[in-house]
Structure 1
Amino acid sequence: METRIALIGIIVENKDSVEKINGILHEYGEHIVGRMGVPYKPKNVSVISVIIDAPNSVISALSGKLGMIPHVNVKTVYSKINEPLEMQD
């Protein structure tokens, strides 16, 4: 099945949502390439970046589930290419 690389940006406005976020990300763990979370205390939010390599339907499902969690904002950016290009020197 054809996959794409995507970056899912998550802003968490309430720490009570973190457990649900981690549970959903765990469900999709086989597709996750990496993730980074940064707490931003002056605004009392956390920002999470998730890199995923998966079929479009999986990326959309993950983004949708995350976006339904209260106090969580999600945006997804897709790569323009579906297959990796050979590295150039």
Structure 2
Amino acid sequence: METRIALIGIIVENPDSVEELNHLLHEYGHYIIGRMGIPYRERNLNIISVAIDAPQDIISALSGKIGRLNGIGVKTVYSNITGNNATNS
């Protein structure tokens, strides 16, 4: 199956939604290459970046589900590189 590499940028403004967010990231964990979280205490928010290698529809589904969480913003940036990822098929 053809996959794409993408970076999902997440800004968490509502800490009450973190449990739901972590559940979603765990659910899609086999597609995630890595993630980095940065607490920004001065602004009382968290910034998370998630690198993912998955089919386009999977990336869109995850991004959409994250975007529907209360107090969480999300944007996705896609690489132009596509390919077959044998570990995700």
TM-score by structure 2 length? 0.92
In structure 2, stretches of 5+ residues that fail to align are: 85-89
1:1-89 counterparts in 2 under 5 A? 1-83=1-83
- Equivalent residues, number: 84
Larger Rg: 1
1:45 alignment partner AA:
L
Shift, 1:83, TM fit = 3.2
More strand by share: 2
TM-score by structure 1 length? 0.92
Give the alignment's Cα RMSD to 1 decimal. 1.1
Runs of 4+, deviation exceeding 4 Å: none
SS at match of 1:82: strand
In structure 1, stretches of 5+ residues that fail to align are: 85-89
Shift, 1:14, TM fit = 1.1
